[in-house]
Structure 1
Amino acid sequence: MPEGHTLHRLAGELTAVFGGSRVRVGSPQGRFAESAAQLDGALLVDAEAWGKQLFVRFEGERFVHVHLGLYGTFAVHDDLEPGAEVPPPVGQVRLRLVRPATGTRPAAYGDLRGATTCALETAAQRDAVVARSGPDPLRPDGDPDRAWARISRSTAPIGTLLMDQAVLAGVGNVYRAEILFRHRIHPLRPGRTLRSTQWRAIWDDLVVLMREGVRTGRIDTVRPEHTPEAMGRAPRVDDHGGEVYVYRRTGQACHVCGSAVRSEVLGGRNLFWCARCQPVFRSRAGRS
């Protein structure tokens, strides 16, 4: 499932390509046809992300709410030659946006496929979705204290809380594994045992890492001294890309201490951690 930086990057791309233009809106697949007809020819104002939720805003405060889920993609094509026609859709395209050619500016189009959610919503409905979401580290209005209010009272593992979009919006499995490693916190440690300074350090680090993810389009979390060049090791080969410490590195040597990276299933998703760098938390009473 795409993580928050992917949605913010996509929102920026949609705004750059379609923002301020009247667009053709269609649903070749047919599942969004009625709503598409209401938007066809309307001004697309901009797009924004809140965590893993994407909102494409049209005039009249109408929003196309998109959640890509596990298999969704929203491909934007702004590379047509002048005078070239927009190609016919391929596959199950739920939503197609087309910016017609104007003057010397060629046409552009975007195709949404496989999304969990694609719905036309009012401003009130959009606000309700946002109200159910936790703060987003990539938004200027992101408030770490909102997340801390939930984390500091919870007995749930911090590894669970970081993935709960009602607690913190935008963090997925990669950022979860990596941020906990970077701060030497075991993923099964209860949320309420963290100190506020630890949480704020995690939040601040997420802001930096995820902004870099928006810029580059990939997740890189290793510090300069642990890059392939610095360590003299081969670059990571993985379809997720990016240089990481523990994510999907089960059994491989930790870049910091050399111990084997471990994994375990929690809530249907794989945890990854280093037992030496992220020791089990023990309370003053000596219990885990």
Structure 2
Amino acid sequence: MPEGHTVHRNAAELGSRFAAGPVAVDSPQGRFAAGAALLDGTVLRGAEAHGKHLLLHFGPGRVLHVHLGLYGSWTTGDGQAPPVRGTVRARLRGTGGWAELRGPTACEVPDEGGEAALRARLGPDPLRADADPEAAWRRISRSRTVIGALLMQQDVVSGVGAIYRAEVLFRQGIDPYLPGRELARERWEAVWDDLVVMMTEGVRDGRIETTRPADREAARAVPGRGDRFYVFRRTGEPCRVCGTPVRHALLVARHLNWCPTCQPA
């Protein structure tokens, strides 16, 4: 599933691509035909992301909400849109080119109450200027749930997926099975600040790279494909810092990796 930095990149590109003039919206697949009819011919006034949710604002009561889920993706291009191929849920066309949406979990035009309910159930997003990490801390500091699970709850922190979860806990030396209420406040603040740094870099670079140059092979400034992560998808391989074999488990149905030495219980 795309993590939050990908959705913020989608928002930036779509907002830039369709900012000038009306946007033609249709649903070649047909499943979004009613919603497309509400947006067709209107002007895109803004695009934003909150966690893994994309919101394209076309005016009052005209907001396109997209959640990519496990299989959703955007394809974009300049000029005239090519002939439709495959299953396209929604297609946008304007003077800045075209965009096609395939396989999303959600593609809808919610009413004002639906949009408000969506925002109310989302936790702070480390990539948003209006994020309040204190709101996440209030939930974490009272919870018996382990921190490795809490970081995946989108009503606690928005936009964090399996990669950022594993990597930020490693970088901060935190056992993923530590109950939230046992996490010291200063350690939570360090986790939040590190998420801001890593996810901002993800938006900038278009990919997740969490290793520091000193921990890469030959201390390369730009990591190779196998050098991008500390622990994620490195089950059984030696920890880059201490050499202990990286462990693996499923936590909240998602793959979790950690180093039992660098992240002691």
TM-score (norm 1): 0.88
Output the CA distance in 1 between the equivalents of 2:155 and 2:31: 28
- 1:29-178 aligned at under 5 Å gives the runs 29-78=29-78, 80=79, 85-100=80-95, 108-178=97-167
SS at match of 2:64: strand
Structure 1 residue 22, shift from structure 2 partner: 0.5
The aligned counterpart of 1:285 is none
Amino acid at match of 1:178: E
- Check whether the contact 1:158–1:187 (CA below 8 A) recurs between aligned residues: yes
Instruction: Show structure 1 runs of 5+ residues with no match.
Output: 101-106, 281-288
Q: Is the 8 A contact 1:13 1:76 kept in 2?
A: no
Correspondence for 2:236 = 251
Q: Structure 1's 231 and 35: CA in aligned 2 closer, same or farther, altered over 3 A? A: closer
Shift of 1:259: 0.9
User: What is the aligned partner in structure 1 of residue 209 from structure 2?
Assistant: 220
Q: Which residue of structure 2 lines up, in the alignment, with residue 103 of structure 1?
A: none
1:93 maps to a residue whose letter is: V
Q: Distance in 1 between matches of 2:256 and 2:213?
A: 24
Counterparts of 2:29 and 2:56 in 1: how far apart (Å)?
19
8 Å CA contact 1:35–1:120 kept in 2: the answer is: yes
C-alpha distance in structure 2 between counterparts of 1:220 and 1:52, whole Å: 19
Q: Is the 8 A contact 2:213 2:220 kept in 1?
A: no
Could you tell me whether the CA contact under 8 Å between 2:25 and 2:40 is conserved in 1? yes
Amino-acid identity (%):
53
1:273 paired residue number: 258
Report if aligned partners of 2:209, 2:229 keep a CA contact under 8 Å in 1: yes
Answer yes or no: is the 8 Å Cα contact 2:7–2:53 preserved in 1: yes
SS in 2 for 1:48: strand
Find the aligned partners of 2:23 and 2:220 in 1 and give their Cα distance. 50
Gaps in structure 2 of 5+ consecutive residues: none
Aligned length: 265
Amino acid at match of 1:224: P
Match of 1:27 in 2: 27
Question: Larger Rg: 1 or 2?
Answer: 1
Letter matched to residue 36 of structure 1 = A
Q: CA RMSD in A?
A: 1.7
Worse-matched range after superposition: 40-49 or 160-169: 40-49
Contact 1:2-1:68 within 8 A present in 2 as well: yes
The structural deviation recorded for 1:127 is 2.0
